[in-house]
């Protein structure tokens, strides 16, 4: 079966920040065969491939994205436990994976409750929170490209702080998490505590794309640097630095990607000027867009 390609799907509907223009092509493969077919077709046509997942860590160009935008569905977004291993499709949400793990009496994935993304997105950026990350729990990942598919270990994936060596066009189709036995009640309690902590410190009820900047080396995190630069509440158009946590940008109403980029550019400039640090953005930029100097 062939995955259909849609034209003109607005990425503002597919991203948590709610900005972004149309995708030249949009595919939602639900099987490994469909995904491989999409990748082969894109390669034959010379089109770039990007994966949006839940759209929680991406900022898409207002003019749109020229290429094939992929969102995994069906079996590529499912998850199930096999012993102490949790097998998940690359498009499986972290919430679903955590639910399946808890039901199977497995622990180790609790930290992911703070990350509104997918299994594949977690691999691509080695997502993490509360002292853990994907490199700690990942056994291996099935990575697909136009050249073929194969399983890679965390070492082969080059996982480091908010980074992997995955290249554009490589898509995480499946992951295997190495977890450990834990009472479901304990998992539930720990997750509830982490979620409560997150609600107090992060703008969970606002439209954002998650953390804007990676934490630089040293004792002062990006959020604290931005706060010391008095950036909380700084606004351009509909994009505003969160008054709750300065490492988040909120869509306060009709924000555009250009607004977000302007806020990011000014934020980086102030941190560079005050701390001599060049912040590196954690959010993935899609399309022909870049930060200003």
| Cα–Cα distances in angstroms (integers) from residue 56 to residues 28, 51, 100, 277, in the given order | 17, 11, 21, 26
149 is catalytic: no
Q: Are residues 213 and 280 in contact, defined by beta-carbon separation less than 8 angstroms?
A: yes
82 is catalytic: no
> How remote is the C-alpha of 28 from its chain's centroid?
17
Catalytic pick from 71, 162, 268, 270? 162
Residues in contact with 277: Cβ distance below 8 Å, sequence separation at least 6, in sequence order: 216, 218, 225, 271
Task: Decide if 165 is catalytic.
Answer: no
| Residue 293: Cβ within 10 Å count | 7
Active-site option among 34, 176, 250, 282: 282
Of 56, 145, 164, 211, catalytic: 211
What gap in Å lies between CA 159 and CA 145, rounded to an integer? 19
Residue 262 to residue 32: CA distance in whole angstroms: 39
Instruction: List the catalytic residues.
Output: 162, 211, 282
């Amino acid at each position: 079966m062939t995955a259909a390609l849609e034209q003109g799907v607005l990425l503002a509907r597919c991203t948590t920040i709610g900005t972004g223009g149309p995708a030249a092509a949009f595919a939602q493969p639900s099987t490994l065969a469909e995904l491989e077919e999409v990748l082969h077709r894109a390669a034959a046509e010379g089109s770039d491939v990007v994966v949006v997942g839940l759209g929680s860590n991406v900022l898409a160009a207002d003019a749109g994205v020229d290429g094939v935008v992929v969102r995994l569905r069906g079996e590529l977004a499912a998850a199930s436990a096999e012993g102490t291993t949790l097998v998940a499709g690359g498009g499986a949400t972290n919430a679903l994976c955590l639910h399946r793990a808890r039901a199977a009496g497995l622990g180790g994935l609790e930290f992911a409750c703070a990350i509104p993304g997918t299994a594949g997105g977690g691999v691509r950026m080695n997502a993490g929170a509360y002292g853990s990350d994907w490199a700690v729990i990942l056994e291996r990942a099935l990575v697909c490209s136009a050249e073929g598919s194969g399983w890679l270990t965390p070492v082969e994936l080059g996982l480091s702080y908010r980074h992997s060596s995955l290249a554009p066009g490589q898509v995480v189709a499946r992951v295997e998490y190495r977890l450990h036995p834990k009472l479901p009640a304990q998992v539930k309690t720990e997750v509830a505590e982490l979620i409560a902590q997150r609600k107090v410190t992060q703008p969970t009820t606002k439209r954002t794309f998650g953390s804007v900047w990676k934490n630089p080396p040293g004792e002062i995190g990006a959020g604290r640097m931005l706060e010391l630069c008095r950036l909380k509440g700084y606004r351009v158009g509909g994009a505003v630095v969160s008054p709750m946590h300065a490492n988040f940008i909120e869509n306060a109403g009709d924000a555009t990607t250009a607004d977000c980029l302007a806020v990011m550019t000014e934020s980086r400039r102030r941190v560079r000027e005050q701390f001599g640090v060049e912040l590196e953005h954690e959010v993935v930029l899609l399309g022909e867009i870049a930060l200003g100097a």
